[in-house]
Structure 1
């Protein structure tokens, strides 16, 4: 620590409280008002305002375009990570009319993950 101080580097603060893994569930509101685009607005479960809760770095969004509803989260093959709301999914013309399924969970800066939210769906406009 003395050497770090002499070099002007920040010292490790042992009094910092570690950030625990997220324990709440994100909710998603989908907006399909723009052609070939779906915006996923997320918020903490029960919160009246959009965004992520304290201590959360962002939301992992597992998603897939499927013909039938997924049986489990494992059926959602794609992953996106959002640090700000909304996350915008953009699609090509052949994807119009297909069903997008999304399931979110929170993640902190250390990569600790919280519980999965509900699987929500929207039709690609």
Structure 2
């Protein structure tokens, strides 16, 4: 399970989406300015293509095999490792600006040296159907009846997500890379960190194989230093 301070998404579809965000932002001019060698950029694209192709095979029930499942896990581990390498080696401030940092999809850096109070607000998360296949929309905001938010402490939302098959996951499903849930969660402790966001709406994308399962979402506030507040209530919906 990813730590709440980790920037790498948990779901595979979100890892692929982050790659696409990077590629659309990383112009040839920026790659040169930031010292990204062409062969490293090409290797990142190759690892992405391999992971995407294997994910399509792994989510096809007719053609999925144990070998494909294992190969898919390895492909995403390799892609994630290369993306972490890119962030650690090439994404430095400077030469990146704060705008570049946000454009790549990372949490804003703490530019306030003064201590930030820990969050003491309580958020709520609910799910709705946006109309797309295998997708839900998470709605985030303060829990009804709670106090007015403090922007310094209740800076953004740390969102956590989990998926439970009908009747609960088997031991094998629970031990898989998706960590399917064996029972409904009481709070966010048993869920995987999904992302940090300051938006009130987040579109959640799922694999085709997850259709008919129940998605659970929970969030808590974080301040600009990554300190987390208390859990809000858990929201749920059936994945279309």
TM-score band, normalised by shorter chain: 0.7 to 0.9
As a proportion of its length, which structure holds more strand? 1
CA offset at residue 53 of structure 1? 5.2
- Within 5 Å, which residues of 2 pair with 1:68-87? 68-71=183-186, 73-87=188-202
Q: Structure 1: state its 5+ residue gaps.
A: 1-12
**SS where residue 33 of structure 1 aligns?**
coil
CA 1:33/1:79 → structure 2, altered by over 3 Å: closer, same or farther? Answer: closer
Task: Select which of 106, 110, 119 maps to 1:22.
Answer: 119
CA offset at residue 78 of structure 1? 3.9
Report the Cα distance in structure 2 between the residues aligned to 1:112 and 1:82, rounded to whole angstroms: 14
**Which one scores higher on RCO, CA 8 angstroms, separation ≥ 6?**
1
For the pair 1:38 / 2:152, whether they are aligned, the reply is no
Task: Give the TM-score normalised by the residue count of structure 1.
Answer: 0.72
Report the Cα distance in structure 1 between the residues aligned to 2:127 and 2:192, rounded to whole angstroms: 19
**SS where residue 151 of structure 2 aligns?**
coil
Pick which of 21-30 and 62-71 moved more: 62-71
4+ aligned runs moved over 6 Å, structure 1:
none
Aligned residue number for residue 91 of structure 1 = 206
- Within 5 Å, which residues of 2 pair with 1:46-125? 46=144, 54-55=151-152, 56-67=154-165, 68-71=183-186, 73-125=188-240
Report the Cα distance in structure 2 between the residues aligned to 1:78 and 1:109, rounded to whole angstroms: 17
**SS where residue 94 of structure 1 aligns?**
helix
- Do the aligned residues in 2 keep the contact of 1:24 with 1:114 (CA within 8 Å)? yes
What is the aligned length?
A: 107
CA 1:78/1:108 → structure 2, altered by over 3 Å: closer, same or farther? Answer: closer
CA 1:43/1:72 → structure 2, altered by over 3 Å: closer, same or farther? Answer: closer
Task: Give the TM-score normalised by the residue count of structure 2.
Answer: 0.40
Report the Cα distance in structure 2 between the residues aligned to 1:70 and 1:46, rounded to whole angstroms: 21
